[in-house]
Amino acid sequence: MRIIGQVPGESEARKFSDYLSMQGIESLVEPERDGRWVVWVHQEDEIPRAQGFLQQFLAAPKARVFDDASKEVQRRLQEQKKVEKQSAKKTFTADDLFHRNLILGMASTTLVLVGVSVAIWLLSQVPSIKPTLQRALHISKYLIGNTPMDRLRDGLVEIRHGEIWRLITPIFLHFHILHIFFNMLWLKDLGTLIEIRLGRNYLLALVAGTGVISNLGQYYLAGPAFGGMSGVVYGLLGYIWMRGKFDPGSGFYLHPTTVVMMLIWLCFGFTGAMAIANGAHTIGLASGMAWGIISAQTRR
């Protein structure tokens, strides 16, 4: 970038910069202490042309060709602002949570999912109910074999006999207060975002799809003793992450810090410091990411 000359004042500098823009020359104007404005040109190979235009401008700054160029640039800027304003209306932001018909900051279906999870957790705190409830909602009541191949060959006895609900019901089981608190916190935000943007049916499809896939993955990897919404939460996270990345016009966006924090927690689970369903987390995330990429490509 190099200075090609000076013009008397700001209005002249803006007008000349607009003219250069119409000629396909990228420029920058800046004030000097003496009141004049310097003109910078970005591309070295455009400097001779720009200097020629500058001589013409200084000779006749009020020529119609320069006024017309400035008007055309302003017209294009106004059109661009209109487009950006319309795009902004399609983009979901956190402020939307406070301007919609939400209950406790949640869309209706998300609220139902949170409500069911909390109700089941509260029931599980009753000693006489807890064993029966867990047996009814676990993916299986039986520990089959010691390896994934054993479970693949002989497992899921109840589901094979028609208890299909067990494929999804483990997502509603939570084992301590921090477990359900953090899962519901994430479900509230991620679920509401998807429900507002795509509707309740799409959210339910995502929850069911990522829930079943993550439940099956965790079962075959480690057996039936697991539960929680975290596989679904990671699925929703992966979906929003990839959909926003590959389809920016969708209005989905996750701050990089959020993604990094969730990935760190995912990796922490593999340290063995806590009893975490790592298979459900990883498979849920992978399935959500794949869903998001496919949706983005299809939409585009």
Instruction: List residues with catalytic annotation.
Output: 230, 281
Nearest-angstrom CA–CA distance, 19 and 40: 14
Q: Which of 236, 286, 287, 250 is nearest to 107 (CA)?
A: 236
Torsion of CA 246, 240, 253, 118, to 10 degrees: 180
Q: Rounded to the nearest 5°, which phi and psi values hold at 110?
A: -60, -40
Looking only at the bridges linking them, the beta strands covering 37-41 and 2-7 are antiparallel
> Structure tokens of 148?
């994934």
Nearest-angstrom CA–CA distance, 126 and 18: 74
> Structure tokens of 193?
């975002």
Instruction: Give the C-alpha distances (Å, rounded to integers) separating 51 from 11, 26, 27.
Output: 19, 13, 12
Q: Which of 28, 7, 37, 22 is nearest to 68 (CA)?
A: 22
Q: Rounded to the nearest 5°, which phi and psi values hold at 129?
A: -95, -30
